[in-house]
Amino acid sequence: MSCMPVLTRDEAHTRARLLDVHHYTVDLDLTGSDHTFETRTTIKFTARADADTFIELKPTTLHTATLDGHPLPPDTLDDNRLPLTLTAGDHELHLHATMRYSRTGEGMHRFTDPTDGETYVYTQLFLDNVQHVFPAFDQPDLKATFDLTVTTPTNWTVLTNSNTHQQTDGHWKAATTPPISTYLVAIAAGPWHSIRTQHRGLPFGIHCRRSLAPHLDADAEEILHITRACFDRYHEKFEEPYPFDSYDQAFVPEFNAGAMENPGLVTFRDEFVYRSAVTDTERQTRAMVIAHEMAHMWFGDLVTLTWWDDIWLNESFAEYMGYQTLTEATHYTDTWTDFAITRKAWGYDADQRPTTHPVAPTQVDDTATALLNFDGISYAKGASALRQLVTWLGEKNFLAGINTHFRRHKFANATLTDFIDSLAAHTDRDVHAWADAWLRTTGVDTLTTTVDTRPSTWTLTLRHHGTRPHRTTIGLYDHDPHDTRTLTPRNHHDTDIPQTTPETHTGPRPALIVPNDHDHTYAKIRLDDHSLETALRNLSGIPTPLTRAVIWNTLRDMVRDGDLTPTDYLTTATAHLPEETDLAIVQGVLGFARTHIADRYTTPHQRPTTLAAITHLCRDLIRRTEDGDNPGLRLTAVRHYIDAATQPDTITAWLHDGTVPGGPELDPELRWRILTRLAVLGATDDTTITAELDRDPTATGQEAAARCRAALPDPDTKAHTWNTMFHTDTLSNYLFTATAQGFWQPEQTDLLHPYIERYYPDAVALAHRRGPAIAEAAGHWAFPTHAVTPTTLHLGRTCLRDHNPTPALRRKLADQLDDLARALRIRNQTGE
């Protein structure tokens, strides 16, 4: 999946003006070698004028190409472009090529399960990877219908976008699709374990590898219940019925994203088939992804963006609708708390980096640039903007506009202007001005409260640092007279920001004033001094989890901005997490404490004390859950205790006994987690890792073993690991990530020091060889985040300036270096 010429916006617009693409007939033969497969493709299309254009494909060998019966020389294929000289009128193009399977989760990915030796393949054709599977005019606004036939080994099952049937042994044919974009074509083939049912007259199915069958069976009713509930709720919201002939959900191995919204065949990473204990919050996350991908069936698949500058129309809408619909249709009624504590933080962080971009950029020049915008802005900030829009516009008007949009553009393409026009048809508000203020700008606004207290009155001023209008809820809280640890709401009231005048109230000032109390807008919050003191002292006494999440996000932002010391954040966590009832908050706060405060914001000298504070807090949580009433909280505390352990004795005893005293018993995930931490601490060896792999020879076990071995503090092991990651090109995307996760460890600073300088040139070369997925993994997981030093920062900036990293790697490095500079500032400010 090495780098290839990218499609530019101008090229796509020119080709869209020239062509109407009608139909693809694609015949794939997957019975050849372990490395390649055959594709035969016929494309029927019309040219509106005489012109030269091209079609994309990236084969190992192009055998034949004919246009209207006339052969085209295969050697005219230039990298990934086959030139076509067209006359006005109808045309038929036939191509036969040999294509290569992928090991990086792009194109046609091939995976052999180490548990039972069974092989599976699936496509991931987003954003421009269709050309690695079959030739196509690969841009979203050249929709066409598709007929797919697939030849496979006789024990395989084939899944596609539409109902698919086996005609004879190993020969499968799919029903013709409605018009869809090329990036949404999907095929998954292998000896799947399948559970099939029907709902509202449509066939539904869930599928996974055979080795995961018992785990899918255990969760099948939960997954199908969520699927049915969301499906029914969307049909209450949307006037357009579900637009495809079936709905399959396949949990596939080594999948790069969380999921992909292929119409009729959604593919998920198969970590969502849980083989070890998980928390209810993790189950809620799976449910949200199911809801998110189903929303795409309408927004993204039925109506598709015209070009990639409007990717937010896909992702922001599905993100918003996934959380909202899950709240309305299932027992997961606190999903917006999870969004606030996890997804929103992702958006805030991305929006404060130099690589930030508008939710709706005015121009995305090419596909390589477009791929970079699948980030916290397109997902979390965009969903937050839509939530603010619904608050401002009213849900009734919002849904009316959405249904108008579907009706106007079904099975076609649309732009931001089209979307806003549809909304504007149902309101007197100036939606176009709102869109300009929210979707065309960058950065995070800040709302700051100040209070002027008089003997019998108090005046609240909300200062607005930013450019966007906000409609938000201000929450006022008083101390409970019977329990000073608890806060009770005095009242809530909505306000528009910027304020026209300060608010003056009679009586005593509240103990706590929370702007954005229901988290309906997207802005950083700064509390007045008195409210901040109350929050730090009484945070667990705030009655609603969403308000607590707003406060925790405020404290997180203050640490990142140097306005609150990491020590104060940890002190607050120690005081209030033992009383916290919302598991998403516990997971979010402990995660920030462990990965940001301990690993980045405190110096190596202070780090042991920080880790000790985390393990002490986790021990407190473990003690408080001994009665078994809150297994999710206990599991969360056990996980974070393991990850923060500085001495091996306790977790070694747990591993030896096969259980944490009082539970839980150690399942594979916890056993590998302990073994990874012992490897970091130099308290295990390769023999023990091999024995554990014999006990768990699954794909997940293989990844865990690679992570453990990479973490061993042994010079020869580190050298071998580095060579495997950066020079052999044999690791799949998942094995590369697991190895990178193990390699860099703050406990091994001296041992790892020589690799910091090697990282930049080796990562640049790797990204050029192996393509965007590995480039992103190299920039994310293989970056030396522990090395918070001016030298690391200087080397990285030099790399960006002088060494020409690929776009995917450049974006990741720029983000990592900005985070590194922030960590250096925090250390310098706090002296920690």
Annotated catalytic residues are 293
Number of other CB atoms surrounding residue 199 within 10 Å: 14
H or E, element range at 584: helix 583-592
Of the candidates 308, 288, 286, 418, the residue with the CA atom closest to the CA atom of residue 362: 308
Count Cβ atoms below 10 Å from residue 591 Cβ, excluding itself.
Answer: 17
Angstrom distances, CA of residue 65 to CA of 46, 78, 89, 722: 18, 14, 19, 43
CA distances from 275 to 167, 192, 445, 669, 734 (A): 35, 17, 42, 8, 17
8-state DSSP, 343? I
User: Could you give the C-alpha distances from 419 to 38, 310, 687, in angstroms and in order?
Assistant: 40, 10, 59
Q: How far apart are CA 621 and CA 640, in angstroms?
A: 11
Whether the CA torsion 805, 811, 814, 820 is positive or negative: it is negative
- Count CB-CB contacts under 10 A for residue 443: 13
Distances in whole angstroms, Cα of residue 626 to Cα of each of 633, 637, 662, 784:
11, 12, 6, 38
How many Å apart are CA 79 and CA 24, to the nearest integer?
Answer: 22
Residue 517 CB contacts under 8 Å (≥ 6 apart), including other chains: 472, 473, 474, 475, 492, 547, 550
Tokens of 587: 């997971």
**Nearest Cα to Cα of residue 640 among 613, 661, 662:** 613
Q: Tokens 């990717």 — which residue?
A: 311
Distance CA 700, CA 320 (A): 31
Strands 446-453, 457-465: pairing is antiparallel
Q: Are 797 and 816 in contact (CB under 8 A)?
A: no
